[in-house]
């Protein structure tokens, strides 16, 4: 049969014609954005992408980095770890100076090996603890990992709420498991009993069993480590069943999205937030206004991650005075960028030798349908 | 204090049971339509979950873009659903493919589910949207458990649909013609039944049921493009477990799955809660393929 | 009576017309595969390796589905079994040449075990059972952290090294994959051409008649299912060193759908179908990237159109095109389907 052979040959020829390289002018620096623009991570990835592009345009308008304009191409990982790995490879092939992305921990843990092998610094939005435990000198976070964020809540539970029994509701994927494991370790250290440990599925809609178990357990507070939509559904079910214990989350529980979705049920929810778009910090307020003006919508912590990641690259490169990937990575280890001197970092930010990020954070609460900052937590 | 423990656990049991019945009632609606289409046209609609996801978005378009009042948007959503997911689906996707046989149709409906899902995401948005509830938010206390009006209405509506549909199929002429078409299309044709129209009715009813399920479930599930994934799978399982060739089978299957899922999550295991319906499915297919309430169709040689 | 039914089932003997050209084309094909990655970027080589790996999985499913007519939606779970077995063994130092066959053998056994009860039901029911099996596999892989690493997965999987031939870089790994691919394709060719293969096809065309002719349908379908699953396991055994990291969601039901799509789009029941289908499913998104978020929609719409107009897949389209351009050989209509009463 000639037909199928021709077709197969044609496909092969097409494959050979794949052009993975992008010719770049000498006066630009290539920083691709490899992020989740479709699939489960579409919301997070899109916000990250938008924040990053806003930073790129601002920097370019000001002359770029060391006189070179940033060229940021977008690559959609479809929230698939294998695709993300391939795309990071593609980004490296095209001569990336540094890479922005990915956000999902499951993808990042895979693709960062590729960037590490090629010696390209990577700025991720992922929060799972294991990412900075692999001694990868080229990975840098743009927000605190769970192992920094969750302990901040321990003193809140122990000293402020004074609970002896606690329950945890967490989403059973790599993101949720990371937070869950850190939390359990922290509770053990603090001597607080975990009365109910309730995992749930990503995308789960019915939380009646989860809430009822927590009610039964007699827990005096609940640590909620879920994504936005599940968090909203949990809050609604908790309100319906009359769960009175304080509901405390990390990162997402008091976000605007959750408030919109949960309505009145979000009232009184508390969350420890590394980046609060509602923080009464002028630089953050400016950022939120700028973002809204440009994109016509509010953003979340992922937008901030994308934004400061690009600026981190700019500032650290300028401190070096040259475009050198290894030098960039070395510079960032142990670096502190003071927000007073480097305003577009929004908050004073430090990185340690593993790429872990340290920054002041906030305790927030939902009051009258709005996220309100009720306290700050110093960088740890 | 001694009495509190059994009362508390009784209350918990009642809570998860009633919540399970409520969710199960919605699964049943999706499963009933699925069964109808299977019976009428031997079509396994892998896009059934998306059929339940989409009508909510039609309503949201009506409210936010066309600025309709809520009740009008609901009617609008229903009509669009029936036209697009019933009429268009049959004419554009199913009809051309029926002569080609089973597998291409299955693949086509799988591709359709991707198309609808991505379409909702691209044209409306990736984020979950709040959906207005049809009923007041009041709750009732039944023996220590909290039940919302929504929960009760889900059950009532599903029962009403089953009763109404069964009456329609058995007592009206059109209904009996639809049954005849499902059982033996060639003979029905010979006897003067307009089989094509009967098949069309089945698709239209499925679309309407899916829309209804959508309106009932979206206040809780929130309107999101990915809702179809879980709903579709549960609809299949409910239909098969309950009985593929009986309407009440789909109801029984849906309720059973809703309740068992909650009971498993509460008393047995949360990590494997999703496994229960799957195991049930495998068990039923292997030992009683006609489903719990289904009628053995015998082997077709 | 000529066999009636859907056109994708009606197929006469393949390759009647161009027997002479086949060895030359084969040689050209192999040469093209050898030359393909030369001078290309790491990314392109990686994608080509991925394509060959998925072709193996698709070939296996093609045997089960295209030749034996059994709808299996569990191919990804067999890939998972192969991948995890290989990963766990290579992580403790077992060489790939031992770990991979172990994974493949395990898949064969699991395929037999699953198929034995499952193949008692046909068509859609089998599809659901395999779907359920795949999802159960995903749940076990995700929950049993002690064995599979759970959601965190297994990372730093080693690339195999054979004496002087180290596959750590993408190019040598591609050739390693190519060798495995060619070997498995040759094996599949042998299976399809063997009496078993003919029995599979008889089964697909007309199961009742096959049974009345003395074909032990149960054993044959079971065999097809098990071999198809074993091929899935082999693909999985290649994925572990290719990506060097595996986690449960790579082997969920959606991946099974992807492999199914490869088989159907390429042309179910035709030998080169799955290979072409894998090329389309893996390479096409590269070309459609410019459409950004819309490409999945375009892709899905194209698949629907393909199913409506040419359910035999792209090879069917190719056939129709070549029919137009090559000289028409008059074939007696009654002989077209072979001598059937």
Over the stretch A286-326, which tens digit does the pLDDT of each residue have? 999 999 999 888 888 889 999 999 999 999 999 999 999 99
Q: What is the ipTM of this complex?
A: 0.84
Considering only CB atoms, B104 lies closest to which of C133, C208, C307, namely C307
The residue with greater pLDDT, C319 or A72, is A72
The predicted model gives C237-257 an average pLDDT of 89
The alpha-carbon gap from B169 to the nearest alpha carbon of chain A, in Å, equals 33
Among C195, C217, C194, CA closest to C206: C217
DSSP-derived letter for residue C334 is G
State how far the Cα of B171 lies from the Cα of B175, in Å rounded to an integer: 7
Q: Which residue of A has its CA nearest to B270?
A: A199
The verdict on a CB contact (< 8 Å) between A208 and B19 is yes
**What is the pTM assigned to this prediction?**
0.83
Quickly tell me which residue has 């130092």 as its tokens: C93
The residue with greater pLDDT, A355 or C166, is A355
Q: What pLDDT is attached to residue A122?
A: 95
pLDDT at A343 over 90: no
Which chain B residues are closer than 8 Å to A78 by Cβ? none
State how far the Cα of B214 lies from the Cα of B218, in Å rounded to an integer: 6
How many CB atoms are located within 10 Å of the residue C171 CB?
Answer: 14
The alpha-carbon gap from C96 to the nearest alpha carbon of chain B, in Å, equals 32
SS3 label, residue C331: coil
Q: What is the pLDDT of residues C35-53, one digit of tens each?
A: 888 888 888 888 899 999 9
CB of C241 within 8 A of CB of C96? yes
Chain B contact present for C258, CB below 8 A: no
pLDDT 10s digit of each residue in chain B, 301 long?
444 566 678 888 989 999 999 989 989 988 998 888 888 877 788 899 999 999 999 999 998 888 888 889 999 999 999 999 999 998 888 888 877 667 788 888 888 998 999 889 888 877 788 888 888 878 888 888 888 888 888 899 989 988 998 898 889 888 888 888 888 888 888 888 888 888 899 999 999 999 999 999 888 888 888 888 888 888 889 998 988 777 888 899 999 999 999 999 888 888 888 888 999 988 888 888 788 887 766 544 3
Considering only CB atoms, B107 lies closest to which of C9, C135, C307, namely C307
The verdict on a CB contact (< 8 Å) between B301 and C208 is yes
Chain A to chain B Cβ contacts (< 8 Å): 80
Which chain C residues are closer than 8 Å to B282 by Cβ? 118, 129, 132-133
State how far the Cα of B236 lies from the Cα of B241, in Å rounded to an integer: 8
Which chain A residues are closer than 8 Å to C247 by Cβ? 81, 106, 110, 174
Among C281, C277, C268, CA closest to C312: C268
The verdict on a CB contact (< 8 Å) between A76 and C289 is yes
CB of A204 within 8 A of CB of A227? no
β pairing state of A349-351 and A336-337: antiparallel
State how far the Cα of A179 lies from the Cα of A145, in Å rounded to an integer: 9
- Peptide bond before A102: cis, by omega within 30 degrees of 0? yes
CB of A246 within 8 A of CB of A219? no
β pairing state of C245-246 and C154-155: antiparallel
Chain B contact present for A331, CB below 8 A: no
> Up-side HSE of residue A32: CA atoms within 13 Å toward CB?
25
Which chain B residues are closer than 8 Å to A212 by Cβ? 12, 15-16, 266
pLDDT at C10 over 50: no
- Measured CB to CB, residues of chain B less than 8 Å from chain C are 44, 93, 96-97, 99-108, 110-112, 114-115, 118-119, 121-122, 233, 236-237, 240, 271-272, 274-275, 278-279, 281-282, 285-286, 289, 301
The verdict on a CB contact (< 8 Å) between C264 and B107 is yes
The confidence band for C20, taking pLDDT boundaries of 50, 70 and 90, is: low
State how far the Cα of C70 lies from the Cα of A26, in Å rounded to an integer: 57
State how far the Cα of B20 lies from the Cα of B27, in Å rounded to an integer: 10
State how far the Cα of B74 lies from the Cα of B76, in Å rounded to an integer: 5
Strand ordering across the sheet containing A33-35: A74-76, A33-35, A99-100, A122-124, A139-141
Q: What pLDDT is attached to residue C124?
A: 75
Q: What pLDDT is attached to residue C290?
A: 66
CB of A225 within 8 A of CB of A250? yes
Q: Phi/psi at A247 (nearest 5 deg)?
A: -105, 115
The verdict on a CB contact (< 8 Å) between B101 and C293 is no
How many CB atoms are located within 10 Å of the residue C208 CB?
Answer: 10
Which chain A residues are closer than 8 Å to B140 by Cβ? none
Strand ordering across the sheet containing A165-171: A193-200, A165-171, A221-225, A247-250, A270-273, A361-367, A370-377
Which chain B residues are closer than 8 Å to A38 by Cβ? 118, 121, 126
State how far the Cα of B90 lies from the Cα of A127, in Å rounded to an integer: 46
Q: Phi/psi at A122 (nearest 5 deg)?
A: -130, 135
The verdict on a CB contact (< 8 Å) between B102 and C143 is no
Tokens for A274?
A: 């590394």
Burial class, B43, CB count within 10 angstroms (exposed 0-12 / middle 13-18 / buried 19+): buried
Which chain B residues are closer than 8 Å to A260 by Cβ? 130
CB of C258 within 8 A of CB of C271? no
Q: What pLDDT is attached to residue A1?
A: 40
Q: Any residues with CB less than 8 A from the CB of A198 and at least 6 apart, and which? A: A167, A168, A169, A170, A210, A213, A214, B270
State how far the Cα of A51 lies from the Cα of A287, in Å rounded to an integer: 9
Q: What is the pLDDT of residues C96-137, one digit of tens each?
A: 999 999 999 999 999 999 888 777 776 777 888 898 999 999
pLDDT at A204 over 80: yes
State how far the Cα of A377 lies from the Cα of C86, in Å rounded to an integer: 46
User: Which of A313-317, C165-169, C187-191 bottoms out in mean pLDDT, i.e. has the lowest?
Assistant: C165-169
Distances (CA, A) of A244 to A75, A370, B14, B16: 45, 20, 20, 18
Which chain B residues are closer than 8 Å to C8 by Cβ? 100-101, 103-104
Chain A contact present for C7, CB below 8 A: no
Q: What pLDDT is attached to residue C57?
A: 96
Chain B contact present for C128, CB below 8 A: yes
Burial class, A71, CB count within 10 angstroms (exposed 0-12 / middle 13-18 / buried 19+): buried
Question: For chain B, how far is it from start to end, CA to CA, in angstroms?
Answer: 66
Distances (CA, A) of A121 to A81, A117, A124, A306, C53: 19, 10, 10, 15, 30
Q: Any residues with CB less than 8 A from the CB of C216 and at least 6 apart, and which? A: none
CB of A129 within 8 A of CB of A151? no
- Mean pLDDT over the full length of chain A: 86
Q: What pLDDT is attached to residue B141?
A: 86
Radius of gyration over every alpha carbon of chain B, rounded to an integer in angstroms: 20
CB of C252 within 8 A of CB of C95? no
State how far the Cα of B28 lies from the Cα of B249, in Å rounded to an integer: 9
The verdict on a CB contact (< 8 Å) between C43 and A8 is no
Q: What is the pLDDT of residues A244-278, one digit of tens each?
A: 999 999 878 888 888 888 888 889 999 988 777 77
Q: What pLDDT is attached to residue C328?
A: 56
SS3 label, residue A196: strand
Q: Which residue of A has its CA nearest to B264?
A: A209
């Amino acid at each position: 049969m000639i037909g199928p052979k021709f077709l197969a040959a044609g496909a092969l020829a097409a494959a050979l014609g794949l052009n993975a390289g992008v010719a770049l002018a000498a006066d630009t620096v290539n920083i691709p954005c490899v992020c989740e623009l479709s699939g489960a991570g579409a919301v997070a990835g899109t916000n990250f992408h938008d924040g990053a592009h806003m930073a790129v345009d601002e920097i370019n308008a000001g002359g770029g980095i060391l006189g070179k304009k940033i060229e940021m191409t977008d690559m959609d990982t479809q929230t698939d770890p294998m695709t993300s790995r391939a795309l990071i490879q593609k980004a490296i092939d095209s001569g990336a100076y540094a890479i922005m992305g990915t956000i999902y921990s499951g993808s990042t843990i895979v693709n960062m090996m590729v960037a590490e092998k090629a010696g390209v610094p990577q700025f991720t939005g992922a929060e799972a603890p294991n990412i900075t435990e692999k001694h990868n000198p080229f990975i840098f976070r743009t927000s605190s990992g769970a192992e920094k964020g969750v302990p901040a809540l321990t003193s809140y539970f122990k000293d402020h709420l004074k609970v002896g029994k606690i329950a945890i509701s967490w989403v059973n994927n790599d993101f949720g498991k990371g937070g869950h494991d850190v939390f359990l370790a922290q509770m053990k250290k603090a001597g607080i009993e975990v009365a109910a440990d309730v995992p749930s599925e990503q995308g789960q809609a019915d939380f009646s069993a989860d809430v009822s178990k927590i009610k039964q357990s007699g827990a005096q507070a609940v640590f909620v480590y879920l994504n936005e939509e599940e968090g909203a559904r949990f809050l609604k079910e908790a309100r319906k069943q009359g769960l009175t214990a304080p509901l405390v989350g990390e990162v997402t529980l008091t976000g605007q999205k959750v408030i919109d979705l949960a309505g009145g049920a979000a009232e009184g929810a508390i969350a420890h937030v590394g980046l609060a778009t509602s923080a009464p910090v002028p630089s953050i307020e400016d950022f939120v206004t700028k973002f809204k003006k440009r994109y016509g919508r509010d953003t979340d912590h992922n937008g901030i991650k994308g934004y400061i990641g690009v600026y981190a690259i700019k500032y650290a490169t300028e401190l070096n005075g040259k475009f050198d990937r290894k030098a960039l990575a070395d510079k960032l280890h142990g670096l502190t960028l003071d927000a007073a001197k480097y305003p577009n970092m929004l908050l004073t930010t430090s990185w340690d030798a593993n790429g872990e990020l340290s920054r002041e954070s906030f305790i927030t609460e939902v009051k009258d349908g709005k996220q309100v900052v009720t306290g700050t937590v110093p960088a740890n | 204090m001694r009495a509190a423990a059994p009362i508390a656990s009784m209350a918990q049991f009642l809570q998860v049971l009633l919540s399970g019945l409520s969710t199960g009632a919605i699964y049943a609606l999706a499963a009933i339509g699925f069964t109808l289409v299977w019976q009428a046209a031997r079509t396994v609609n892998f896009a059934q979950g998306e059929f339940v996801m989409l009508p909510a978005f039609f309503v949201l378009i009506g409210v936010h873009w066309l600025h309709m009042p809520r009740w009008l948007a609901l009617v609008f959503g229903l009509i669009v659903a029936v036209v697009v997911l019933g009429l268009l689906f049959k004419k554009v996707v199913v009809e051309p493919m029926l002569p080609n046989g089973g597998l291409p149709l299955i693949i086509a409906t799988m591709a359709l589910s991707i198309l609808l899902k991505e379409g909702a995401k691209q044209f409306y948005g990736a984020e979950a949207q709040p959906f207005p509830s049809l009923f007041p938010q009041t709750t009732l206390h039944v023996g220590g458990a909290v039940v919302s009006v929504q929960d009760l209405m889900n059950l009532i509506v599903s029962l009403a649909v089953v009763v109404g549909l069964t009456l329609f199929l058995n007592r009206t002429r059109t209904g009996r013609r639809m049954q005849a078409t499902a059982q033996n299309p060639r003979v029905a044709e010979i006897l003067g039944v307009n089989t094509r129209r009967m098949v069309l009715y089945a698709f239209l009813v499925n679309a309407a049921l899916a829309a209804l399920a959508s309106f009932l479930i979206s206040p809780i599930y929130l309107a999101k493009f990915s809702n179809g994934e879980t709903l579709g799978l549960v609809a299949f399982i409910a239909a098969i477990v309950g009985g593929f060739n009986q309407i009440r089978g789909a109801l029984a299957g849906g309720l059973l799955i809703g309740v068992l899922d909650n009971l498993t999550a509460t008393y047995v295991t949360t990590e494997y809660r999703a496994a229960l319906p799957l195991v049930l499915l495998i068990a039923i297919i292997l030992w009683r393929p006609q489903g719990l309430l289904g009628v053995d169709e015998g082997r077709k040689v | 009576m000529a066999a009636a039914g859907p056109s994708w089932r009606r197929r006469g003997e393949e390759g009647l017309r161009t027997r002479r050209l086949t060895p030359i084309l084969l040689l050209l094909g192999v040469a093209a595969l050898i030359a393909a990655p030369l001078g290309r970027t790491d990314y392109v080589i990686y994608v080509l390796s991925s394509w060959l790996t998925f072709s193996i999985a698709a070939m296996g499913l093609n045997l089960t589905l295209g030749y034996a007519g059994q709808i299996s939606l569990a191919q990804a779970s067999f890939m998972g079994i192969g991948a995890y077995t290989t990963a766990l063994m290579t992580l403790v130092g077992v060489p790939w040449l031992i770990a991979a066959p172990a994974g493949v053998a395990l898949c064969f056994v699991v395929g037999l075990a699953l198929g034995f009860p499952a193949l008692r039901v046909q068509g859609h029911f089998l599809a659901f059972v395999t779907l359920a099996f795949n999802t159960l596999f995903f749940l076990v892989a995700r929950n049993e952290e002690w064995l599979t690493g759970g959601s965190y997965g297994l990372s730093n999987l080693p690339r195999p090294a054979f004496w002087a031939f180290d596959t750590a870089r993408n190019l040598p790994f591609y050739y390693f994959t190519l060798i495995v691919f060619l070997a498995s394709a040759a094996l599949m060719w042998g299976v399809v051409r063997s009496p078993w293969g003919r029995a599979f096809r008889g089964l697909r065309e007309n199961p009742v008649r096959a049974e009345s002719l003395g074909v032990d349908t149960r054993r044959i379908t079971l065999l097809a299912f098990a071999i198809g699953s074993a091929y899935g396991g082999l693909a999985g055994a290649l994925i572990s060193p290719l990506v060097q990291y595996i986690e449960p969601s790579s082997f969920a039901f959606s991946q099974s759908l992807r492999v199914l799509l490869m088989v159907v789009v390429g042309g179910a029941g035709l030998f080169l179908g799955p290979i072409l289908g894998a090329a389309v499913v893996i390479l096409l998104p590269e070309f459609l990237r410019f459409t950004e978020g819309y490409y999945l929609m375009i892709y899905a719409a194209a698949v629907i159109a393909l199913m409506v107009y040419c359910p035999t897949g792209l090879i069917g389209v190719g056939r129709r095109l070549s029919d137009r351009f090559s000289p028409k050989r008059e074939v007696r209509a009654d002989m077209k389907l072979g001598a059937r009463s």
